[in-house]
Structure 1
Amino acid sequence: MSMDKVVDSAARAVAGIPDGALLAVGGFGVCGIPSALIAALVEAGTGNLRVVSNNCGLDDWGLGLLLRAGRIVRMTSSYVGENKEFARQYLSGELEVELTPQGTLAERLRAGGSGIPAFFTPAGVGTQVEEGGLPWRYAVDGTVAVASPPKEVREFRGGRYLLEEAITADFALVRAAVADRHGNCVFHAAAANFNPLAAMAGRVTLVEAERIVEPGELDPGAVHLPGVFVDHVVAADPEDRRIERRTLRAVRVPTAPTGPTVTEPAAAAAKEN
């Protein structure tokens, strides 16, 4: 059996994702977003998706495209800023949202990929994360239709910890800087935050790579995600990137002096006096 996992298009890679699938999607802010695979899902018309991702892209890019098309019914996320449509759908009751502390979300994905069903964490102790009641879905009239349940608490060495369940997804969509034909992946900078974890948590993992190399070209010590976790690799446009928020700094332009110019000898004489 060939170990070559490269497929010729993103459309072919996502063809097996059915309506209602649970997806783990990599990316951190707008870094490492699997934009080609997401765009292919939009084109395919796949809907009723449940998505686990740190955030939900921008209004016009990444997961924001699926959201705007009404294809996502539930999000499990940590950060929901920069997306007005996300806020609109959540507050109007069109979208169910499970907000999860960022470190907890990362560990839930890692645990799912490692075969660990659950774990205890101090994150969220003494808050509504522990007590329950966080709005997951609003009703049309603004009341809470679905709320988070309370979590099991146990004490270890005098500290209180919450039980969090691992996440295992039907499919994972991730973006790598470099991948070889066997699926071994290297991620760049902040793109390494959630992409490897999402890849591990997927039963079927699809990778889009900005550059695809031959087996043996990658230094084994540089590999962030072993190919054993990857099922398909597709080429991605390396220029398909976004800036989440552009900030410009005001620059002060120096003005010409208006007073008399003091020569160096005069300044030295004044200093001596």
Structure 2
Amino acid sequence: MANKVYKDAKSALEGVLHDGMMVMCGGFGLVGIPDKLIHAVRDSGVKNLTCVSNNAGIDGEGLGLLLETGQVKKMISSYVGENKTFAKLYLEGKLEIEFNPQGTLAERCRAGGAGIPAFYTKTGVGTEVAKGKETKVFDGHEYVMERGLFGDLALVKAWKGDAAGNLVYRKAARNFNPMMATAAKLCVAEVEELVPVGAIDPDHVHTPGIFVKRIICGAPYEKKIEQRTIRKA
């Protein structure tokens, strides 16, 4: 079995990064974001990236780090409301955006990973989302065609993984990471716990190791809170 385990994020991305590439990035808010790998991308200085992610992190966290350094040329996302840097760059004409309904974005990534070049959906018909896109009528209802997404590199974060690349996600971190892992030429994963092959019950595997080419253990992690809400006692 090929050695997939690397000592750190920098070495795991060595020889992989290049200017102008499309990066598929897992995560939901600040949950399940490949934090160590994103830092390594920032430190590499690679630029003109197209990043596909549910959101763009927040200021100073997640993909927000790459926005601050001007390394992202285009974002393909469904929600970016927590990021002031994102808004500033867009309004200054320094960032291209492609917004998607959240379910459509998830399906575009899943379709890309499954080798499906395009699909039809009712979501967005008659709105700005459908502008310039092909539409078709099925059974008397209009649908808009959306293209599958397939990138150069997928960066994902899992709770547990083994040396063969089998991954298990935890709770909300499972929202976008599994489809991102399949939707790129090469997937690099970071995990909180790296266990020996055979330690994970095959029935519990969310992403089979065949999709993962490189893996690191990024522990320890600091729990990041996107929006702290409290109530009176």
Q: Could you say which TM-score interval applies, normalised by the shorter chain?
A: over 0.9
Q: Partner residue of 2:8?
A: 9
What is the rounded CA distance, in whole Å, between the counterparts of 1:237 and 1:215 in structure 2?
19
Residue number in structure 1 paired with 2:144 = 162
1:3/1:181 contact within 8 Å kept: no
| Structure 1 residue 237: Cα displacement | 2.2
**1:24 partnered with 2:24:** yes
Question: Which residue number in structure 1 is paired with residue 193 of structure 2?
Answer: 211
Once the 2 structures are TM-superposed, how far is the Cα of residue 241 of structure 1 from its aligned partner?
3.0
- What is the aligned partner in structure 2 of residue 195 from structure 1? 177
Q: Counterpart of 2:59?
A: 59
| Cα offset, 1:177, TM superposition | 0.2
SS at match of 1:110: helix
Deviation, 1:238, is 4.1
Shift of 1:153: 0.8
Q: Percent of counterpart pairs with the same letter?
A: 49
1:233 Cα offset (Å): 0.2
- TM-score normalised over the length of structure 1: 0.83
Q: Which runs of 5+ in 1 are unaligned?
A: 133-149, 252-273
State the distance in 2 between where 1:61 and 1:106 align. Answer: 22
Q: Which residue of 2 aligns with 1:119?
A: 119
* Residues 240/46 of structure 1: CA separation in 2 closer, same or farther (3 Å cut): farther
Gaps of 5+ in 2: none
Q: TM-score, normalised by structure 2?
A: 0.97
Give the secondary structure class of the aligned counterpart of 2:64: helix
Task: Give 2:73's aligned residue.
Answer: 73
2:8 and 2:218 in contact (8 A); partners too: no
- Structure with larger Rg: 1
Residue identity matched to 1:18: H
Is this contact kept in 2: 1:20–1:49, CA < 8 A? yes
Count the aligned residue pairs: 232
Residue type at the aligned position of 1:86: F
Return the alpha-carbon distance in structure 2 between the equivalents of residues 21 and 151 of structure 1: 24
The one-letter amino acid paired with 1:167 is L
**RMSD in angstroms over aligned alpha carbons?**
0.9
- Give secondary structure in 1 for the equivalent of 2:190: strand
Secondary structure of 2:18's match? coil
